[in-house]
Every structure is written in C-alpha cells, then in structure tokens.
Structure 1
Amino acid sequence: MQQNQLRQAQRDQRAAERAAAAAEREEKAKHLASRREEAERRTADVTRWAAMLDELLVEGLRRTAKIDMQRFKRTVPRMVFNPGHLASPAEPPDWRQFEPAAPGMLSTVFGGRERHQAAVARARQRFHDATVSWQNSERERQQRLVQARSVFDSRVAQERADCAEHNRQIDAEIAALGERRREAVERYCEQVLSRLLLPPQFPRRAEVAFNPEAEQLVVQLQLPGTDVVPTAKSFRHVQSGQNPDTIVETKRPDVEVKRLYRDAIAQVTLLALRDLFDADAHLRGIAFNGHVDSINPATGRQEYPCLISLDIERATFEQLVLDRVRPADCLLHLRARVSEHPYALKPIEPILVFDLSRFAFIEGLDAVSTLDHRPDLMQMGHGEFEHLVRQVFEAMGMQGWTTTSSKDDGVDAVVKNPDPFVGGVTIIQAKHYKNVVGVNHIRELAGAMEEKKAGRGILVTTSWFTSGGRQKAYEHGRMQLVDGQNLIFLIKKYAGKDVVISVKRPRNAASIDQPDLPEGQAE
C-alpha cells in the first residue's frame, strides 16, 4: 500500500509539472501574441496618421467654413411655474371632528345635559382655535405662494432680458460685419481660423488684421511643428538576440518625412485660405504668413520663423481645383515664398509683414539731437522722452514708431525687428518717473500686449523697479525691463550720448544685471 501511494504521488507530481509547463507555454504564447499585436497596432497607427496627413486638405474641403451668426442666438426656454406643496391649501377644520356625542336618555336624568353643554363649549373652543390656526396657515401659504410666483416671474423676466441682450449683441455683431467694420471682420475671421478642420494636435493660434478699404486680410497663422510627422514607418516584434522580447522600430526615410511635413504645412495654408474666402464673400485678397513655434538649439531661445508667405487675390484662388492639386506644387504656382528646407525650419522673409495699423502713430521727433553735454533726462518733457526711447531702439537696428498720446492705449512706442527669425511686434511703455515702478505697471503692460496682440513688451523707466515687479515680468516670459541705470548705458552705447538722471535712488534698489535688449538683438 505504501509503495502504491508513493507511485501515485510520483504520478501526480509529474502530471502537475506537465500542467505547469503547459500553462507556462500557453502564457508565453499569449504574451508573444500580445507583443505582436502591439507592434501591428503601432504600425497601423503610424500608417493611419501618415495617410491622414496626406488627406488634410481634401477632408477640410468637405464642409462649409461659413459661420451662421444667427445660430448663436438664444431662445428663452418654456418655463412653467410649479408651486409644489403651496398649490393646494390644507383642509379646514370640520366641526364634526370636534362635536361631542349627544347624551343618552338615562344620562340626561343624572345631569348629563349640563355635562354635554360643557363638553360642547370646550369643543367649540378647540374648533375655534383650530380654525384660527388653519386661517393663519392658509394666510402664510398664500403669502409664500405670492412670493414664489414673484421670484419665478423675476427669473423669467431676467432670463428674457439676458436673452434679448445677448441677441441684441449678436445682431450688432452681424450688422458690424455687414458694414465691414474692422474689429468685427477680424473677430469673425479669427473664429473661422479657430475652426479649421485639423487634428486636435495641430495649433490654432492666429492673428488677423483687416483693411476695409482694400478688403484685404493679413493673416499670421501658427503652422504645426515637425513633431506632427511620424519618424517611424513600422514596428515588429523580435524574439532573437540579446533581448528576445523587443519591439523594433523601422525608421521612415528622411525624404518621406520631409515630404510629409512640407505637404502638411502646404495643406494647412491652402485650407486656411479656402476657409477664409469661403466664410467671407467680401474679401478680395489675403496676405498669409505661416510661422512655427520653435526653440533654436544653438541659442535655446524661443523663435517664430516664417516658413510660408504669399499674397493671393480671390479671383486667382477660385480658379484652383483644390481636391486635385498637389499642395506643395500649388503654392509654387501661386508664387508663394516657401522655405527651402521647412523641416529644418529655415526661415524666409515674409512678403507682407503683419499689419501695424492697429496702432495710431505720429511723426518721429529727433530727440537725440536735442541732448547737449550730459543732459538730465528728468528735464525733458514726457513726449520728448518717449521719442528718445524710440530712437534708442531704432539705433539697435529696429524699426520704430511713436504713438499718439490720445490713442496709445498704454503704448508709447512700437518697434519691429526685421530679422525673419523673430515674428510679431514689440510695444514699449516709457515711464518718465521719479518714483519706483511696481507690479501694477507690469500688469498694465501685460494688458496692453494682450489687447494689441504684441509678441513682446518692454518697460523703460528713469527710476527703478520693485522686486515684485521684476518677478512678475520674469513670470510673464515675454516682457523685459530697463531701469534708469541701464537706460543710461543703452543711450551711451547706441546713441553716443552721456546723460544723467536726477532721481534719488534708494540703496536697496537693485538694478538688473545687464540691459534688457529686444528678443533676437545681438550686441
């Protein structure tokens, strides 16, 4: 018996080992199958994405770009007053619930009549008290009902008023668009560009400027970066070598990667132009600049190079059969300026720079020539000081304009760097102050930059900045500060003049280590 039990135990052990080995083989087979499926899935994903990049323009042409402004109007929903438990009054007291039973014949003989009359009197008092309580409750219910009705009517009236005001604003926007007011057309076209039928990974940032007299739109659109093109062509699961469980990537040829990116940004450009012309039948021409957000690997600085630029008339554009064109060839046909190496983000000079007409400018004053030997800047007028600041930046190689004092909206001057690596404009605020410049002035400059859609902002002062102000400007990221000491340095270096600033500066007023120069400006 013991030998039989031993042999059975051995047989059971061998069966368990065989089952474990089979389970291990099955688990390994499942794992390998899942890894193969993952490789196939990743291959299908990059194949599908590459095919989608080739179909951007065709897919975008399948819907209208017109925005129905009437669709933004609201209607007041049907609102029904629901009084709830206040709708129905409580049942009034019933005398029959309080009235005592009449005494029997025998009870009347032994004084039951007097007791009954006393009970009736008590019952009448209770009935009276209950009736008074019910009347009070009913009166309170009716008051609460009136209040609830009043609140409901006020809510309905407010909803109708809000709806009417909203619809009035929509009608005003429609009227302004029909009258071709610049701000309304710009808002409408920015909405059109924000609705481009593109993948969610693509940027939507756009700036537009409209010239009502020429019915021309100037567009600065952010194009997708090079990361939208998959550099992998396929994936496969490898079971040999030092790492037998690896998914190996097959690189896409460089020629194909560059072709995909060139065609992608060309399609985005053509789709943007088509949508703008389709959405606004009054536009006669569009000047388009396509830029890319990038970081220069040599300097580590943020740049906005222009890769595509063209100026196109509606009549010329409408001759195109867009669902049949080769996007890159089409841009060449339209005589667009296109980067020779867009995948390398090699910039071009735009055909037409972004419109500066949103600012009101005055003729520049030569403030530098008025400076004699070591003049005191605090003796200058505010207007002269603004012109001086503008001239200093012009001496750095910038193009500059001084704004009118009545229409500057917090902007004293505007400068533009002609370097194609740097897009947009820079607005300048000049503070001819004796006292410290704090955080509020930083916020003011940030608001002016947002309103004017400027790429950068510079705050120049004859005094100094608080530490909180410097920190706020640093956190903003697109703002530079020039205090009095650095202004003296800049005037000396670029205007060749020795100046002084008679401002009593506290000892703890730390200066910025180096003068803040405009983005991309080399000394």
Structure 2
Amino acid sequence: MGRRRGFFAEMQYQAAKAQKERARQAAAAERERVRLEREMHRAQAAAAMARERMARADVQAAAQAERELKRLHIEAQQSKVESLNADLQEELAAIDGILESTLAVDDYVDLENLRRVAEHPPFQSAYQTALAAPAPISAPPEPYFQPPAPPAGISAVFAKKKHAAATAAAQAQFGQVHAAWRAAVAQIPQRQLAAAQQHQAAEGERLRRLAHDRRRYDAECAERQRIVDAENARLDDLINRLADNEPEAVDEYIGIVFGNSIYPDVIAANSDFDFSYSSELRELSITVVFPSPETIPKTKLFRYVRASDEIAETALTQKDVTTRYVNLLNNMTLRTLHEVWESDRAGKIDSISLVGGVNHVDPAVGQDVFVRLIALAVSREDFLQIDLARITPSETLKHLRAVVSKTPHRLTPIDDKKGVRR
C-alpha cells in the first residue's frame, strides 16, 4: 500500500524534510565540534606531557604517561557514550512528542505560497568588456644636424680641410637619418589605419560572441520561465479544482498537508498514508501504515564498561517498550486527524474514517498482510471540541469510540466487523 505524492505534495515534503535535516545536522555538528575540541585539548595536553616525560627518560614518568593515556581513553569513551545517549534521548523524545510537536504549528497550507517566481542569475560573458581602442602613433622627434666642432688654436689654420671633410661626412650621415625619419613619418597614417582596422575586426568578433552568449542566456532564462509558468499553471488548476470541490484536488491538497508533516526518521521510514475524499459524503477515508513494533528503539541508554573497554546498551523494559508503541499509535492517529482538520479551513471535510495498521508477513502462510490495529470514524464537530494539549490519548480514543487492538505490540488485529459508527 502507498500513495504516490502529488507534485506539490512531494515538493513540500522534500522542503520540510530538508529543513528538519539541516536542523538535525546542525545540532549534531555542534555536539561533535564541542567533543572534538575537548578531545583536541586533551590530546595536546597529553602529547606535551608525554614529550616532557620522554625527554627525562624517567621510568616513573613513562608509567605516569601510560596512566594518563589510559585516563584520556576512558574519558574519550565516556564522551562517546554521552554523545550516543544525547542522540538516543533526542530520538526517543521526538517519537514520544509527535502529537505535541504538531500542535505548535499551523497545518494550513496557503497554496498561493507555492507559487514560484523564476530566478535568473545575472548575465555574464567573457566578452562583455569592449576592447580598448589602439593608441595614436606619434611621430618620432625630427633629427637635427649637429656639425663637428670647428678647430681652435694654432692648429686651426692647418685643420680646415680635415674639418670640412668631417662636416661633409656628418651632413651625408644626417641626410640618411633624416630621410629615414621622413619615411617613418610617412608610414604613420598607414600604420594607424591598419591598427584601426584590426581593432574593428576584433571588436566585431567580440560583439558576435557576446551576442551568442546573450542568446544562450536568454534561451536559458526562457526555459526557466517556461518551467515556472507550467508549475504555476498546475497550481492555478489545483486551486480552481479545489474550489470546485473535486475529490482529486482535495486529495492532492491533503497530500500537501501530509507532505509538510515530518516525522522522526525511524517513523517516516516505516510508515505511510493512503487517503481518498468523497465529495458526496464529504468524508476523507484514511489508511495509516504504522511502523512495526521492532522498528522502535528498545535501548534505554548506553554505558561504558571499563573492564572490557566496550560500550554496552541497557535495554528498556518490555513494559516501557509496549507503552511507547501504544502511545505512538495513539498519537499518530490523533495527529493525523488534527492535521487534516486544522488544514481544512474551507470546511470541505465533515468526517474522517480512519484505519491504522501494520504491514506484516503472516508466519502461518508466509503472505503479506495488513494487520488492522485501530479504526474509528469521527465528525469534525466532535473532534474540534477536544483540546489536544490537555488530553490523555488513550482516553481520547475511547471517547471517540475507536476500536483499538488490545495488544498492538503483538500485532493482535481488531475486530471491527460491526463497524466503528456506533
């Protein structure tokens, strides 16, 4: 047995489950961090002491170090036991408090809150920045002629020819340098044009690639928007069908409510719900699959046994195990009724018919069977008169004239052949 969750129910279930898991992991991580920090300080102190004693090479110090390491090991084991017991008590408290925990929240689901808005990341491309324009090409400074210094003194009369020759050579060399300068200056416009054309081509390629990235981004945004629009259209359809009191829409809404109802892991992994709404009777029929008795923790606490250096478990008494299981079934039943009616603000459900049991392999025939452990039918009017924060669950089920197994922990089925509407 089992109902496949609807789209929105699954979405709500996964979100609620993820939130609960994040809280659990955060608490566990904090406990582990404190434990590791404590162990780190102990290890550092022990290492420092060991190094000091080894340096003295003192037999007495070595024995003391061994005793200290043993003490630290015992403390580490005891710390582990504390952590295990903390986790165990947290798990047992969560099992025992499944009814109380739901009373602290409003189980109504405003379907408009499920409406989505497409979220798009900002556009990014490696080609968003324009290429820098080429810098202007400046002409090199024009060379100027620097004639050789004229001869001076007594030798000036005899050096005129030599000076004239040097000047002529300098002028010839200057002519070549100046001609090269003029040629370089003449090439500047052409070089500038080539640089501008190269920049224009590179910029054009950048813009082409930028446009390609933009088209891809726009397509991705359009696809995200299409998915969101489709989901919102499904939501609109659900809201409209729910307003028309269509049974399938009521079922889907109840599935969302149950999707928000997160049980402790050991229960969630071993339980299930099936339900069906009759618009003619205005009644919701629910089948609850309870966890089997063997799935519920039977450990009372963990303890460290120094003699064997082992962590042992102390089991709960059979009476405690039985009481916890009976209370679990009672609390799950009342929680289910409460969540349905608290969420049904539109008043579509006038009554609930509920059957709860356990999937079990019949040892006599080896066949899968559903063992019915509880059954009741109750009207909205009768149930809403009950203050669940002040009741004893077993007495409340008696008040509601529920048919309950006398020994559910032994999977003794109920006898409801006469029905539960008495």
2:121 pairs with 1:53: no
Task: Note closer, same or farther for the CA distance 1:150–1:37 as it changes in structure 2 (3 Å cut).
Answer: closer
Partner of residue 339, structure 2: 275
The letter for the 2-side match of 1:265 is L
Given candidates 226, 249, 255, the residue that maps to 1:190 is: 255
Given candidates 194, 197, 214, the residue that maps to 1:132 is: 197
Contact 1:54–1:264 under 8 Å retained in 2: yes
Partner of residue 376, structure 2: 310
1:80-479, aligned counterparts within 5 Å?
80-82=122-124, 84-92=126-134, 94-96=136-138, 99=139, 101-102=141-142, 104=144, 106=171, 110=175, 115-203=180-268, 204-234=271-301, 236=303, 249-281=313-345, 282-348=348-414
Contact 2:373–2:414 under 8 Å retained in 1: yes
The letter for the 2-side match of 1:272 is T
Task: Note closer, same or farther for the CA distance 1:19–1:299 as it changes in structure 2 (3 Å cut).
Answer: farther
Contact 2:95–2:264 under 8 Å retained in 1: no
Identity %: 28
The letter for the 1-side match of 2:272 is R
Return the structure number with greater relative CO, CA threshold 8 A, min gap 6.
Answer: 2
1:3-18, aligned counterparts within 5 Å?
16-18=58-60
Alpha-carbon offset, residue 208 of structure 1: 1.4
Contact 2:293–2:325 under 8 Å retained in 1: yes
Larger CA deviation: 249-258 vs 317-326: 249-258
1:28-43, aligned counterparts within 5 Å?
28-33=70-75
Q: Secondary structure at the match of 1:187?
A: helix
The letter for the 2-side match of 1:319 is Q
Task: Note closer, same or farther for the CA distance 1:295–1:25 as it changes in structure 2 (3 Å cut).
Answer: farther
2:114 pairs with 1:72: yes
Contact 1:66–1:278 under 8 Å retained in 2: yes
**Normalised by the size of structure 2, how large is the TM-score?**
0.68
Which whole-Å CA distance do the structure 2 matches of 1:24 and 1:119 have between them? 88
The letter for the 2-side match of 1:177 is L
Alpha-carbon offset, residue 183 of structure 1: 1.7
Q: Secondary structure at the match of 1:76?
A: coil
C-alpha RMSD of the superposition: 3.4
Which whole-Å CA distance do the structure 1 matches of 2:264 and 2:376 have between them? 24
Alpha-carbon offset, residue 81 of structure 1: 4.1
Partner of residue 364, structure 1: none
The letter for the 2-side match of 1:343 is H
Which whole-Å CA distance do the structure 1 matches of 2:183 and 2:250 have between them? 90
Task: Note closer, same or farther for the CA distance 1:24–1:300 as it changes in structure 2 (3 Å cut).
Answer: farther
Task: Note closer, same or farther for the CA distance 1:93–1:136 as it changes in structure 2 (3 Å cut).
Answer: farther
Larger CA deviation: 293-302 vs 327-336: 293-302
Larger CA deviation: 49-58 vs 206-215: 49-58
Q: Secondary structure at the match of 2:354?
A: strand
Contact 1:221–1:289 under 8 Å retained in 2: yes
Larger CA deviation: 212-221 vs 264-273: 212-221
Q: Secondary structure at the match of 1:22?
A: helix
In structure 2, the gaps of 5 or more residues are 1-53, 146-170
Which whole-Å CA distance do the structure 2 matches of 1:299 and 1:312 have between them? 35
The letter for the 1-side match of 2:336 is A
Q: Secondary structure at the match of 1:137?
A: helix
Which whole-Å CA distance do the structure 1 matches of 2:197 and 2:102 have between them? 75
Q: Secondary structure at the match of 1:289?
A: strand
Which whole-Å CA distance do the structure 1 matches of 2:411 and 2:231 have between them? 44
Contact 1:90–1:138 under 8 Å retained in 2: no
Structure exhibiting the larger radius of gyration computed from Cα positions: 2
Alpha-carbon offset, residue 322 of structure 1: 0.8
Alpha-carbon offset, residue 111 of structure 1: 6.5
Task: Note closer, same or farther for the CA distance 1:347–1:121 as it changes in structure 2 (3 Å cut).
Answer: same
Task: Note closer, same or farther for the CA distance 1:125–1:342 as it changes in structure 2 (3 Å cut).
Answer: same
Alpha-carbon offset, residue 316 of structure 1: 0.9
Alpha-carbon offset, residue 308 of structure 1: 1.3
Deviations 1:443-489 (A, max 9, x none): xxxxxxxxxxxxxxxxxxxxxxxxxxxxxxxxxxxxxxxxxxxxxxx
Deviations 1:352-381 (A, max 9, x none): 99xxxxxxxxxxxxxxxxxxxxxxxxxxxx
In structure 1, the gaps of 5 or more residues are 1-11, 354-523
Contact 2:299–2:313 under 8 Å retained in 1: yes
Task: Note closer, same or farther for the CA distance 1:92–1:20 as it changes in structure 2 (3 Å cut).
Answer: closer
Task: Note closer, same or farther for the CA distance 1:89–1:339 as it changes in structure 2 (3 Å cut).
Answer: same
Q: Secondary structure at the match of 1:348?
A: coil
**Normalised by the size of structure 1, how large is the TM-score?**
0.56
Contact 2:266–2:296 under 8 Å retained in 1: no
